[in-house]
Amino acid sequence: MKTLILGGDGYLGWPTCMYFANLGHEVYTVDNFCKRQIELEVGVTPLNKVFTLQERIDFWNKNSNNKIELFTGDILNHKFLYEILEKIKPENIIHYAEQPSAPYSMADRQKAYFTQSNNVLGNLNLLFAMKKYCKDAHLIKLGTMGEYGTPNIDIEEGWLDIEHKGRKEKILYPKKPNSFYHLSKVHDTNNIEFCCRNWGLKSTDLNQGVVYGFHTKETMLDEKLQTSFHYDEVFGTVINRFITQAVLGKNLTVYGKGGQQRGYLNIMDTLNCVRMASENPPDAGEFNIFNQFTETFTVSDIAFKIQKALDKINLKIKIDNLKNPRNELEEHYYNPSNDKFIKLGLKPHLFNDELIISFYKFVKNYENVINKNIIDPKISWSK
């Protein structure tokens, strides 16, 4: 099967390329390296050395029977994208090629504007390219659980049956995103739903939780195949930040009351979920939505779990509460469903003591290169 992975240089894109190559897919990937450009712009780097995508692909192709082919360019340039789809006619398109940081999108006008134009218009070009060159391909689009916000009702998987004044309707699950980044994903969802309904495209939207973890079967094969580990405020997520703070012997910084609950999953489960989605395409015209997470935690839960796990190796970690830079509910109802992937057979990796300790040991190797200045939040949701 021909699989095109957009955003192959990214934290998830690169492991997905190798994983699908190992599954026997013909893998093609695209990147314009805009995330690396943003890293330079905001002055952050991953903890580890991330080899160039060309180096990683070269190394992979020399050591694997299932090659990966790279196209370098920007999907906002529709001619570039059209050429690729015309040439390859992919059956499977996995779309990660979006600006992925909520704090970045909230930093100022230029960054919000870039986020929405890059994400929404790139995705729009992709929809037109698919209609023109591979109408029957399956678009697997990465969305986020953050599209939903924190509603007072159970979060179903993408669609909701409602009754109003005695009449019934099936609606896209109502969204209440909390950043210009999350809004861009909602706009994408709405555009894709229309193209399925209007043109008969088929798509699966993966509303993904916060991904943690560094190692996959393929990244572990060689240091040159690693993906990125970010612990900074822009690209790092809460688990990475806490682990990094623990390595530095600093207190874990919980934003606000810490009652913010979210869905989480291990990077290995991301790969499993994307595979399962690709094995279960919807019919033409159908827009399928999965919630892609394995466990839900509050921010405080995570801090306590890390504290407890590291206590086993005799590390005494303290927890601080920081003024929350984000406008978000710090105590709220949260009950999202992930039934669809569980029914398809997903066996979650859990965020347990063993994982936390091994994660700690991994980051400990890099203790000397941690940049302490990029951990605390400087971007405010209100300013």
Nearest distance from residue 204's CB to a second copy, in Å?
Answer: 19
Nearest distance from residue 148's CB to a second copy, in Å?
Answer: 11
120 in contact with a second copy (CB under 8 A): yes
78 in contact with a second copy (CB under 8 A): yes
Contact with a second copy (CB under 8 A) among 73, 83, 151, 344: 151
* Number of amino acids touching a second copy (CB under 8 A): 46
**Is 144 designated active site?**
yes
Q: Which member of 11, 148, 181, 264 is catalytic?
A: 181
77 in contact with a second copy (CB under 8 A): no
Contact with a second copy (CB under 8 A) among 22, 99, 125, 294: 125
- Contacting a second copy within 324-383 (CB under 8 A): 327, 333, 381-382
Contact with a second copy (CB under 8 A) among 124, 206, 234, 268: 124
Nearest distance from residue 88's CB to a second copy, in Å?
Answer: 19
Contact with a second copy (CB under 8 A) among 112, 206, 306, 375: 112
Nearest distance from residue 65's CB to a second copy, in Å?
Answer: 38
86 in contact with a second copy (CB under 8 A): no
Residue nearer to a second copy on the CB measure, 24 or 174: 174
**Is 185 designated active site?**
yes
In SS3 terms, the chain reads as CEEEEECCCCCCHHHHHHHHHHCCCEEEEEECCHHHHHHHHHCCCCCCCCCCHHHHHHHHHHHCCCCEEEEECCCCCHHHHHHHHHHHCCCEEEECCCCCCHHHHHHCHHHHHHHHHHHHHHHHHHHHHHHHHCCCCEEEEEEEHHHCCCCCCCECCCEEEEEECCEEEEEECCCCCCCHHHHHHHHHHHHHHHHHHHHCCEEEEEEECEEECCCCCCHHHCHHHCCCCCCCCCCCCHHHHHHHHHHCCCCEEEECCCCCEEEEEEHHHHHHHHHHHHHCCCCCCCEEEEEECCEEEEHHHHHHHHHHHHHCCCCCCCEEEECCCCCCCCCCCCCECCHHHHHCCCCCCCCCHHHHHHHHHHHHCCHHHCCHHHCCCCCCCCC
158 within 8 A of 289, measured Cβ to Cβ: yes
Contact with a second copy (CB under 8 A) among 59, 61, 80, 121: 121
**Is 181 designated active site?**
yes
Angle at 155 between CA 153 and CA 156, to 5 degrees: 125
Nearest distance from residue 103's CB to a second copy, in Å?
Answer: 13
- Contacting a second copy within 152-211 (CB under 8 A): 152-154, 156, 160, 162-165, 167-169, 171-172, 174-180, 183, 186-187, 190-191, 194, 197-199
Which residues are the active-site residues? Answer: 144, 181, 185
Q: Which residues contact a second copy by CB under 8 A?
A: 78, 109, 112-113, 116-117, 120-121, 124-125, 128, 151-154, 156, 160, 162-165, 167-169, 171-172, 174-180, 183, 186-187, 190-191, 194, 197-199, 327, 333, 381-382
